[in-house]
Amino acid sequence: MRPEQLPAVFRDLFLKQLDEVEEIYKKLVSILPDLNYDLYLWAWHIVNTRCIYVENPRHPLVDSSKSGDTIAVIPLVDMLNHSPKPQVLPLFDKRSQCYVVNVQSSAVLEEEQLFVCYGPHDNGKLWLEYGFMLPENIHNRVSIPLELFIALTKKLGLEVDDEHISVLREAGLPNTIYASDEAPSYGLKKNCQILRMSHHELLNWREKIYSHESDDEESEEVIERDNLVNDILKQLMASLRSRAEGVDEKLVWLWEEQIDLIQKLVDNKNV
């Protein structure tokens, strides 16, 4: 799989994963020179897909310098599959010093499979980390990095100077679109509002974007902002469709999910 064929957010995750695999292998092979790389990869995937987070005191033989966290494979618990609507919650009982699995639902039928939630992951992360995806994943999302957001607005012909960019960075509002959204996110709308501000308005940008003035007002300013949001989303869709051309057919779904999510928002009457 070529990293450049992945959408940016998944490409970064994949490259980080590759770096981790290589870093761990170098440490292990310095201790076990005859370590078979394919066997190591098999073991890494087993641990990565079945491990669970635990809090352990630091140990001199365990490298926890980056996060201070420790992972472990817990028998039986590691057999639980993922669902965004889990019935059980595994946790460590400090009193008994054992891992226990607590049932969240009121009843469990005989031979019914129990699910746990691995986290609010979109399909890209589920696929890269665990090797599967979910239809209609409620956690799917499209993240628009600030640099891409600025590039899209410039491509639309909007003048964006250093002062606008400085305020956007200071505000730090994410341009994230979620599968559950029925309208553009707060951050996306407010960032577009910042782009529409004059230099005089930028001096008091906090007061303006955090005011209690309703966005439902049919003011010219609100209409212009919403039109800009719509144009940015359409420009992003066009960019994603162009990037998806020539991508390996096994990876096209990653791009299509992002495009479909944006298309749904554009088609929504709230945009």
Q: Please report whether residue 26 resides in a domain.
A: no
| Domain span holding position 196 | 141-267
Q: Mean pLDDT by 10-residue block, N- to C-terminus, for the chain (271 residues)?
A: 88 93 93 94 91 72 59 85 87 85 80 88 93 91 93 91 95 92 90 92 90 60 83 94 92 94 82 46
Domain-located, residue 51? no
Residue 59 lies in a domain: no
Predicted confidence at residue 63, as pLDDT, reads 62
- Give the β-pairing of 81-82 and 115-116: parallel
How far is 84 from 226, CA to CA, in rounded Å? 32
Q: Residue 124's closest CA among 10, 3, 270, 225?
A: 10
Amino acid 242: pLDDT:
93
- How many domains in the chain? 1
- Asked if residue 23 is part of any domain, the answer here is no
Q: H-type helices in 159-213, by residue range?
A: 162-171, 186-195, 199-202, 205-209
195 contacts: CB under 8 Å, gap ≥ 6: 153, 158, 160, 164, 168, 228
* 79 found inside a domain: no
Is residue 36, in this structure, part of any structural domain at all?
no
Within a domain: 169: yes
pLDDT at 59: 66
Entry pTM: 0.81
Return the DSSP state at 211: S
